[in-house]
Amino acid sequence: MAENHMQFQGKEDPDINLIQRARNGDALAFEQLVFKHDRRILSIIASYVNRADDAKDIYQEVLIRVYRGLPKFRAESEFTTWLYRIAANTCLTHRARAGRRSHMTQPLDDEDESGEAHSASSEKPRNPEEELLSTEIRERVDAALATLSPRQRMVFTLKQHEGFKLTEIATMMECTEGTVKRYLFEATQRMKKQLKDLIEEKDESRDK
């Protein structure tokens, strides 16, 4: 799935017509081009920041950067690869610039006005106690993620939540696969340390 988006071996970009029209100032073509891929972009951003308002801010900034950069896009990689790269960079700089508040205080999975949760959970807690425990765990996981450096966190969420391959992540983050592995290793070790008590608790309860 993600792999197909990232592969580009000299084949003509399927978006080439839209890209050319958008470059010539066709605003409708620009929207068609971006809106073909923006669900995944928003998902990447949302997994990373986990705040609805920040996700929308970053998404907006990504679109502006794409608009500004499109005349210089030289089609050396597939359009989606370039788009994902901009999304990743924007997340990283947003976080670096923002750093102003915790990203975890208003998770996306809060209920919206209609009472519908933004996120889909496959396992619903069965009773209030389980629900409380589950919420506590999620908050702890998010808090642990917040202690990672932006790049560690980006690698961790792209791998764990978005399912990209390490090689794809390397392309998006413009670094080597070895560097991505290092970020993933450091992120994992840090997460493990932060959540040690919960890991042990779970382990004990499984042993019983």
Partner 1 sequence: MKHEPYREWLVLDMVGELGADERALLREHLQSCPECAREQRELAGLHRLTAQREVVDVSEDFLSEARTSARDALRRERNARRFRDRVASVVDQLMPIVLKPAIVSVSMLVVGVGIGHMLFAPGASETISASGTEWIDAAERGEAFITSVRFVDPDPQDGVIEFTFDALTPVRVKGSVSDQRIQRVLAQALLHEHNPGVRIRAVSAFAQSPMREADPIIKQALFEVLRTDENAGVRKAALMVLRALPFDREIRDALISILLRDTNDGIRIEAISYLGEIEKNQMSLSNENRRALEKKMSEEKNDYIRNQTLTLIREVREQ
Q: Which residues bind partner 1 (CB under 8 A)?
A: 27-28, 30-32, 35, 38-39, 42-43, 46-47, 50, 52, 55-56, 59-60, 63-64, 67-68, 108-109, 112, 114, 116, 118-121, 134, 137-138, 140-142, 145, 159-161, 165-166, 181, 184-185, 188, 191-192, 195-196, 198-200, 202-203
Nearest-approach distance from CB 162 to partner 1, in angstroms:
9
> Which amino acid would we find at residue 8?
F
Q: How far is the CB of 11 from partner 1 (least distance, A)?
A: 26
Which among 52, 49, 44, 43 has a CA at the least distance from the CA of 146? Answer: 49
CB nearer partner 1, residue 78 or residue 187:
187
Q: How far is the CB of 25 from partner 1 (least distance, A)?
A: 9
Rounded CA gap, 170 and 37, in Å?
20
- State in angstroms the smallest separation of the CB of 147 from partner 1: 14
Question: In this complex, which beta carbon is closest to partner 1, that of residue 13 or of residue 61?
Answer: 61
**In Å, what is the CA distance from 109 to each residue of 13, 20, 70, 132?**
35, 38, 33, 15
CB of 33 to partner 1, least distance (A): 12
Q: Which is nearer to partner 1, 82 or 145 (CB)?
A: 145
Ranges of H-type helices in the chain: 2-6, 16-23, 27-35, 38-49, 52-69, 79-98, 128-146, 150-160, 166-173, 177-194, 196-207
Residue 101, classified by CB atoms within 10 Å of its CB into exposed (0-12), middle (13-18) or buried (19+), is: exposed
Compare residues 4 and 114 and give the one whose CB is closer to partner 1: 114
